């Protein structure tokens, strides 16, 4: 929910990003993957292969693939606009002025 609707992404981007996120999970109470409750990467559960998102291809890099995509999404101009609009709607007005 960072870019917002109408920001230039397609269903293929959503599907591809979902594949990049495979393998990321929460460690269970048994602690096999790490500290119980911590966010961890399980390479055995990751869907391997390169993936494209918003016109950029990310090589198969396991956990680094999703991290790189998340960094790019965070830096995308549409993310700043969408987050700023959500903040303005919450703190200023339901229909904040454009710009």
Examine residue 5 and state whether it is found in any structural domain, yes or no: no
Structure tokens at 56: 């950029």
Mutual angle of helices 63-75 and 77-91, in 10-degree steps: 60
Is the per-residue pLDDT at 17 higher than 70?
Answer: yes
Query: How many domains, in total, are found in the chain?
Result: 1
Examine residue 56 and state whether it is found in any structural domain, yes or no: yes
Q: Determine the average pLDDT of the residues in 42-68.
A: 95
Domain span at residue 78? 11-91
CA distances to 40, 77, 82, 98 from 69, in Å: 17, 14, 18, 28
Examine residue 48 and state whether it is found in any structural domain, yes or no: yes
Examine residue 60 and state whether it is found in any structural domain, yes or no: yes
In the chain, DSSP finds a helix count (H) and a strand count (E) of 3, 4
Candidate from 48-52, 78-82, 94-98 with smallest mean pLDDT: 94-98
The model's pTM: 0.77
pLDDT band at 22 (very low <50, low <70, confident <90, very high): very high
Is the per-residue pLDDT at 57 higher than 90?
Answer: yes
Cβ pair 47, 19 in contact under 8 A:
yes
Examine residue 78 and state whether it is found in any structural domain, yes or no: yes
Examine residue 33 and state whether it is found in any structural domain, yes or no: yes
Examine residue 74 and state whether it is found in any structural domain, yes or no: yes
């Amino acid at each position: 929910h960072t870019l917002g609707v109408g920001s230039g992404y397609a269903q293929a981007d959503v599907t591809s990003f979902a594949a990049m996120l495979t393998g990321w999970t929460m460690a269970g109470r048994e602690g096999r993957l790490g500290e119980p409750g911590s966010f961890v990467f399980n390479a055995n559960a990751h869907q391997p292969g390169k993936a494209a998102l918003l016109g950029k291809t990310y090589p198969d890099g396991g956990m680094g693939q999703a991290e790189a995509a998340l960094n790019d999404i965070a830096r995308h101009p549409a993310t700043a606009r969408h987050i700023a609009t959500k903040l303005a709607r919450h703190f200023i007005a339901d229909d904040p002025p454009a710009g």
